[in-house]
């Protein structure tokens, strides 16, 4: 994988990084990470490249211009922050796209050590968002992910467009009526762009429904003040089999995300 977009690369001890800015708009890239604890490396049945294929590389890059940012540096194959605690460790193939993650059953010690990171992350997120809420009253979280669309192999046909939009917006845990003025403004803004001469295909709850733990947590903890939007970019910005990025498309996506910040800020202000 090309690491040139990650400057500087996170240290092996890194769990996450936080940036606080003057805005009620927050972005997260919680499946960006590829790091795992050194003690786990020899326990994996999967190679580094196999793990990378199910991670969300370069999602952090698309959010670099959002004022508030949280980037999680550990691999989802160590602990998946976007799943509930009791399913955050992939112990069976059914939890991991049919993949056999571990050579042998993971010990309770290793699993609990990883789950402590899950606990610490949500303690941090709760405190961080309370600070944004205190300052601005309400806030928006763009929960940025990516997804594969060439699972049958690098030379096989990709998933048909009707089932794999360029951007999938997930809203299942959201009070849609409460936040429709924010969500509609965001979706319409995204649809106003083209990439490679084609309008961005932006759909709601098609490939994914936004059922992740982070959006659920935010809507439960901040029911009247927090709007968490799951944003899934199809991996048309990279080769999902080699890990190589298309820097041109990534820069366009970064610009699109950056340009959405004032749109979201205006929507929040207008909805007061």
Domains (range + CATH), the chain: 16-270 (3.40.630.40)
Q: Please report the DSSP string for 89-125 in residue order.
A: S--SGGGTTT---BSSPPPHHHHHHHHHHHHHHHHHH
pLDDT at 6: 57
pLDDT score of 5: 66
pLDDT at residue 113, as a whole number: 97
- pLDDT over 70 (residue 248): yes
Instruction: Evaluate if residue 3 carries a pLDDT over 60.
Output: no
- C-alpha 148/C-alpha 140 separation (Å) is 26
The percentage of residues in the chain with a pLDDT greater than 70, rounded to a whole number, is 97
Tell me the pLDDT tens digit for each residue of 24-46. Answer: 999 999 999 999 999 999 999 99
Residue with tokens 């806030």: 139
Q: What was the pLDDT predicted at 11?
A: 83
The percent of residues in the chain predicted with pLDDT above 90, rounded, is: 88
Q: What is the pLDDT of residues 47-73, one digit of tens each?
A: 999 999 999 999 999 999 999 999 999
DSSP letter (8 states) at residue 201:
-
The predicted pLDDT at position 227 comes to 97
Is the pLDDT assigned to residue 2 strictly greater than 70?
no
Strand, helix or coil for residue 129: helix
Question: pTM (2 decimals)?
Answer: 0.95
Which band of pLDDT confidence, cut at 50, 70 and 90, is reported for residue 9?
A: confident
pLDDT in tens, 108-156: 999 999 999 999 999 999 999 999 999 999 999 999 999 999 998 888 8
Q: In this predicted structure, what is the pLDDT of residue 4? A: 53
pLDDT in tens, 216-245: 999 999 999 999 999 999 999 999 999 999
Q: Distance of CA 271 to CAs 38, 238, 266, Å?
A: 48, 37, 9
Distance of CA 144 to the CA centre of its chain: 3
Is the model's pLDDT at 7 over the cut of 70? no
Mean pLDDT of 194-216: 92
Is the pLDDT confidence value at 271 over 50? yes
Mark out the alpha helices in 137-237 (DSSP H runs).
Answer: 176-191, 213-221
Please state, as a whole number, how many other Cβ atoms lie within 10 Å of the Cβ of residue 189.
Answer: 17
Closest to 67 in 3D by CA, of 163, 12, 142, 8: 142
Per-residue confidence at 12, pLDDT binned at 50, 70, 90? confident
Q: Which residues contact 252 (CB under 8 A, 6 or more apart)?
A: 193, 195
Instruction: Give residue for tokens 């601005």.
Output: 136
pLDDT tens per residue across span 144-188:
999 999 998 888 899 999 999 999 999 999 999 999 999 999 999
pLDDT at 167: 97
Mean pLDDT across 238-266: 97
């Amino acid at each position: 994988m090309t690491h040139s977009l990650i400057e500087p690369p996170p240290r092996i001890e890194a769990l996450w990084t936080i940036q606080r800015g003057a805005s009620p708009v927050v972005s997260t890239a919680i499946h960006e990470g590829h790091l795992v604890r050194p003690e786990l490396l020899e326990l994996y049945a999967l190679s580094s490249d196999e793990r990378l294929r199910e991670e969300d590389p370069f999602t952090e890059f698309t959010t670099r211009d959002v004022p508030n940012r949280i980037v999680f540096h550990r691999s989802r194959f160590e602990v998946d922050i976007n799943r509930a605690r009791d399913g955050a460790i992939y112990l069976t193939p059914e939890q991991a796209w049919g993949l056999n993650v571990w050579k042998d059953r993971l010990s309770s010690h290793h699993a609990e050590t990883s789950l402590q990171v899950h606990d610490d992350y949500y303690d941090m997120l709760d405190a961080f968002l309370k600070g944004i809420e205190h300052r601005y009253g309400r806030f928006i979280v763009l929960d940025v992910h990516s997804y594969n669309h060439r699972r049958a192999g690098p030379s096989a046909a990709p998933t048909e467009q009707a089932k794999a939009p360029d951007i999938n917006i997930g809203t299942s845990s959201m009070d849609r009526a409460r936040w429709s003025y924010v969500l509609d403004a965001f979706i319409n803004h995204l649809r106003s762009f083209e990439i490679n001469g084609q309008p961005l295909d932006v759909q709601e709850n098609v490939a994914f429904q936004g059922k992740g733990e982070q959006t659920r947590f935010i809507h439960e903890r901040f029911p009247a003040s927090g709007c968490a939007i799951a944003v899934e970019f199809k991996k048309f910005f990279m080769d999902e089999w080699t890990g190589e990025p298309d820097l041109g498309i990534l820069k366009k996506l970064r610009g699109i995300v950056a340009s959405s910040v004032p749109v979201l800020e205006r929507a929040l202000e207008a909805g007061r």
